[in-house]
Amino acid sequence: MITRLYLIRHGPTHAKSMVGWSDLPADLSDTAALERLSAYLPADALVVSSDLSRAADTATAIQGSRDRLPHVQALREIHFGAWELRTWAEVDAEDPERIRAYWETPGDVTPPGGESWNQVCARVDAAIDGLIAAHRGRNLIVVGHFGQILTQIQRAQVLTAEEAFGHKIDNLSVSEVAQGPDGWQSGAINHRP
């Protein structure tokens, strides 16, 4: 049985800083884009999101008549720790080696008080695996975040972290991956219906 995941990035926050676990709201004023996205997604899919309001509210906006699963905290964005809500320039002025290593060679480097890319992958992979195990063979609409989506693209396409970070993931885009007897498969990435 194949389980298809439609990974949706939440609506824009318009923040010009690193937004991880801060609960900033999404701008959901582009109702035409939300309607196109909802119409594109399978009508029989289950909808789940991270517990942050920008993802949960986006999920509500595209849910339609689909069934909703409880929010999953483990689907949150990268935990940026001390870098949270700060700009690249601000952090680069204080800790240039660490911030460059974090984004240019993602892996075990962590922001102070935050999590490494490898930790993000482990957290999100476990959450996605749990959803697949509980709803095998179903279509799942997973509304979340840039980093969370990249973890699954990396896994499905068997990429290095650096290759995964080369993908652009726009707000209100859908990236499709599937898991079945033959392993992971990847479909459209960063599609804007």
Could you list the active site residues?
Answer: 10, 77
For 85, left (φ over 0), alpha (ψ -120 to 50), or beta?
Answer: left
Residue 143 CB-density burial (10 A; 0-12 exposed, 13-18 middle, 19+ buried): buried
Question: Which pair of structure tokens corresponds to residue 147?
Answer: 């980093």
* Alpha carbon separation from 59 to 56, 97, 173 (Å, rounded): 5, 37, 13
State how far the Cα of 193 lies from the Cα of 191, in Å rounded to an integer. Answer: 6
The residue behind tokens 């840039």 is: 146
